[in-house]
Structure 1
């Protein structure tokens, strides 16, 4: 168990290092309020709610714009999936991944499946794509490590990077999970019952572009973190099997 705890601690440490490496040149210093005239608010954005005009949002976007950056749609092609409805759910077949199965660290096993069909194959996520949730638990990003034979819910977008010499996919996922993008998402979320971000809004997110060598350093830290996390899971599984074997031996005695 000591080795498992050490591996998990190392994984969390490396993930935090990656985040700080991203933020140390983009230090976020926020205040909590601002005053807007009617012309500055409703006249330009069509929004009159106070939440939208909190100064933290404007300072965040100004900070990104002060550095080399791009809009999300300039870096990726956005691909949508399908929403077949609960009537199409099966107990076996092609795994159907919903937002509840998605986290920045991976995709958890699903209990929902769809009947196999060749029509689903173009929907399968490919290595290097970044998945991003737009409904419910908004703003979860995950970089796909290898081709997957799963169908995503319509609430999860596939972001396909056009030029990897501009942005590293692992770095891109970290940016989407970072406070800089989460603040942009919070500002534009709509829906009182189920949170929702429009594809149009997501396409205009501001993405900071650090030098590629720095992006790769961040990506390496993230990969190390993932490897330690996987090692911890394997050790935990092995420990459980060994405990079960011991218990079976005790019962036989």
Structure 2
């Protein structure tokens, strides 16, 4: 029997491969777990824009969850794009019936190009139904501000936002400061209701950051699946996503994707074992 942990992502699909389900599965595998998925929406997107999106039928979402959780020893779950209030409600109901999984909630709301990935009328449902189930939520500055109907611009704002979001029910809050202005470090603030942890890494000067939020949250879920504590999981995930950004791929004509497998060497013939072929 395999001793490789299993994680589950519940999120939307990115046709460009840099974010969403595609990024989640890459990130999970790169952090040592087997990734499974429940697709909540299909998007048409690339490195420049999201041009269309279509939610998946609720019963099919439930069927995917049942198929995965009834067969795989899932050790952690991550949610991303949930698109509508009805989908959030369905996912929350399903997870409540299957209590006990560490849950990372990435409150995906808007794409880098400005496309709304969460219906405006679904924000209240996200606050009331999903956040209270979370082991940790991982909003960026915009998402934290949107959840709180305020503006988050400074480190002091981040700490206050973390306190306020914690009151909505999650076990912990990670406010990501990648969009903080004029800072040398990429600072994130982790709050568990009593203690703040400042998680810092060098700021990488690159436009190629497509999918960083998905990648980061999925890496946290992967390390929780390894049964690491939340602060340790966040630290490992932060190091991973920083390196993935540092080795980002300048693909497409917009924001290129992070490099999820930066640590792998390119395939060479010498790396191929046990293959006998007459192909020249």
TM-score by length of 2: 0.27
Greater Rg by CA: 1
**TM-score, normalized by length of structure 1?**
0.29
Q: Which structure has the highest strand share of the two? A: 2
Larger relative contact order (C-alpha < 8 A, sep ≥ 6)?
1
